[in-house]
Amino acid sequence: MNPKILIVEDEQPIRLAVADALRSEGFDVLEAADGLSGEQMALREGVDLILLDLMLPKRDGFTVLRSLREDRLAVPIIVLTARGEEFDRIQGFEFGADDYVVKPFSMGELLLRIRALLARSGGGAPGVSGLSDRARFGETEVDFAAFSVTCGDRRMGLSRRELELLQYFLRFEGETLDRFRLLSDVWGTEGDPTVRTVDQHVLKLRKKIERNPAAPEHLLTVHGVGYRFTRAAMSPDR
């Protein structure tokens, strides 16, 4: 499968030139002309890498960057910044950019950076190795390599944390997993999480893997304890 790259850039000549060049290199390319639709595509489409302009209509690149990372979308992001544009490198990296190029850039330079980042992230997600790339249960199919999940006719992106949590549930299918165990095994001490963090991620995950997130059939609540995952669709809360 070709790597899928999303380019979020409002300047049409640049967007089209980059998209054409990437397609001729064998990449699948998605295009967004403003920050809001770019952010939505990034979360929905399960892309492998994002090229993100900063000065964008509707939602600026920094806001998009920060909000994608808050959602723990783990794909590499290269910021496209214009010469003379106020770009704070430190702030960019703090917000979760992996790299940046200054416009005007050569396609050769951009391709080098894209390939380097894809090589670094390619299959290198912690916890992915040794497990199958795909899982299927009920109407849901998960593509771990692409960080995406399809449920019925919905396809959504998975953040790295959601992916790790789902892998953990799959590994311990049928066992009741209490929140503290999930917290220590999936989160560790990173970011000083609380059991509320677990609940919030379970809610997010249900929206992606459950046919009806309000009445989960796979990721079940075990009241007062935690959660239990099953591939076979169960009636809710049993």
> Is there binding between residue 36 and Ca ion (CB under 5 A)?
no
**Which H or E run contains 185?**
none
Smallest distance from the beta carbon of 30 to Ca ion, in angstroms? Answer: 17
Q: Beta strand 134-137 with 99-103: parallel, antiparallel or unpaired?
A: unpaired
Total interface residues for Ca ion by CB under 5 A = 3
| Residue 53 lies near Ca ion (rule: CB under 5 A) | yes
- Compute the residue count for the chain: 238
| H-only helix segments in 71-122 | 89-94, 107-121
Can residue 55 be called a binding residue for Ca ion (CB under 5 A)? yes
What does residue 179 show for φ and ψ, rounded to 5 degrees?
Answer: -60, -35
Select the span of 48-56, 108-116, 184-192, 217-225 touching Ca ion (CB under 5 A).
Answer: 48-56
Closest separation in Å from C-beta 48 to Ca ion: 23
Is 141 a binding residue for Ca ion by CB under 5 A? The answer is no
Q: Does 33 bind Ca ion (CB under 5 A)?
A: no
Interface stretch with Ca ion, choices 12-20, 46-54, 151-159, 214-222 (CB under 5 A): 46-54
**Whose structure tokens read 């489409």?**
45
Closest C-alpha to 3, from 47, 44, 43: 47
Strand (E) or helix (H) holding 70:
helix 61-70
Identify which of residues 10 and 25 has a Cβ nearer to Ca ion in the complex. 10
Residue found under tokens 């609940």:
199
Check residue 170 for interaction with Ca ion (CB under 5 A). Answer: no
Residues within the interface to Ca ion (CB under 5 A): 10, 53, 55
